[in-house]
Amino acid sequence: MKIGIGNDTAGTKLKYIILEHLKSKGFEVIDFGAANGETVEYPAAAKTVSEAVLKGEVDKGILLCATGIGISMAANKIKGIRAALCADSYSAKMAAEHTDAHVIAIGAKIIGEEVAVDIVDSFLNSRFSGGVFKTRIDLMSELEK
Ligand SMILES: O=C(CO)[C@H](O)[C@H](O)COP(=O)(O)O
């Protein structure tokens, strides 16, 4: 599984922790986010990762900003993207199982490092349930028209 990770400046430290964790688990990770000392605004990071998912360059995306709020809002403005702001691993599991989220967002100043890693693992280890949940995301997609 190929993962895209993106962050604004506030998410840089947590990005590297998640990046190393994912690599240690054998994931291929593309880092689209701000590097140490670099200034990147969250809309740009959200756009790059979301478009990479839509193009199939990566399978799923992880987004980080200080709160996770702006970067999840920005990702949800990209047509076709379902982004879920997650503060716990159950939500991350449901984001995958019930809403087939393309990306999750985590607040780097809100969520501790170990919980953040649990959230990421929970999201990536969970699969879309289909069935009635597919009907519902199709209804959600109609809202974009
Ligand atoms: O969480 C965010 C948006 O929802 C941003 O990361 C936050 O606003 C950045 O703030 P600052 O420039 O003070 O680090």
pLDDT for 136-145, tens place per residue?
999 999 999 9
Is 86 part of the annotated catalytic residue set?
A: no
Res 93: pLDDT? 99
Which residues is 104 bridged to in the sheet? 62, 84
| Ligand 1 centroid distance, CA of 121 (Å) | 24
In DSSP terms, which residues pair with 83 in a beta bridge? Answer: 103
Q: Is the CB of 70 under 6 A from ligand 1?
A: yes
Q: 69 lies in which domain range?
A: 2-142
How many domains is the chain partitioned into structurally?
Answer: 1
The tens digit of pLDDT for each residue in 56-109 reads 999 999 999 999 999 999 999 999 999 999 999 999 999 999 999 999 999 999
User: pTM here?
Assistant: 0.98
Cα–Cα distance measured from residue 114 to residue 1, given in angstroms and rounded to the nearest whole number: 22
Please give the pLDDT value at position 45.
98
CATH number at residue 58: 3.40.1400.10
What ipTM does this complex have?
Answer: 0.98
- Give the integer Cα–Cα distance in Å for 96 and 127: 6
Q: Can you tell me which atom of ligand 1 is nearest the CA of 70?
A: 4
Closest-lying ligand 1 atom to the alpha carbon of residue 69? 4
- Tell me if residue 98 is catalytic: yes
Place of tokens 């920005």: 74
106 by Cβ neighbours in 10 Å (0-12 / 13-18 / 19+) ranks as: buried
